[in-house]
Structure 1
């Protein structure tokens, strides 16, 4: 009887020791995975600005989003949406980024007039996004003729999305 009790106690101690080693290994693996995830996310950046240019004679809107990445095929701005007065006119999805420094979209948007509000929404495939609002204004240009002549776009406000 004593030998059975001794065997059970020894087996239990071995089980507890084995279990705690397994738990230690799992804890270390979990901590490593969390650290690796946080480390990789520290290099992921959200877009911090949206630049626009508007050619009023051709009705072309050029959107440039500064967004640095080491690998434009793995970390990139994956969507650009353009809304005019709340209506979605463009929603473009990308499979990679234009360059290591920026994403760019060029869109023909006819019918813009002074007073229109343009909202540009850009999202990074790894982290978050940025929404900026712009206002279409008319500036006086000497010798300018035509209904779109002198239209330009100015920044109104921005909103980070994480």
Structure 2
């Protein structure tokens, strides 16, 4: 879906995909219980035949609340404390120089995930940070520590829910 949104072909065998799969493996995200839930929730051909769904059936399924629930569980669960990435070019983060080749660890727990985010001195943001400010909005921090799968859902033009991994702003779920 991300490749389609970006207008490019999907690349399944990349370093980034391998890193994410390793994270799933370490965290135990993909499990039999999830497969069982999927098979009874929307993978009708496999369910009707009494079989496990195929990869193609799972990928093509539309189970927005299940997707939202899994994303919210991962957000709240904190299975992996940090995601390492290597800087591919010289850059700067909040006034700190990061040379190309430096390992950077993105925390997956802490302020902004389950607690109110810490304040950032706006004068330390770089140009691209300023340009993307409010691009995706912010979740309501009043309930940031509670399990709320609905925060990952948006209403489509037909009034149905759609799972959106980049949803950050407040949404009307009524």
User: Normalization by structure 2: what TM-score?
Assistant: 0.20
Higher relative contact order (CA 8 A, sep 6+): 1
The structure with the greater share of residues assigned to helix is 2
TM-score, normalised to structure 1, is 0.21
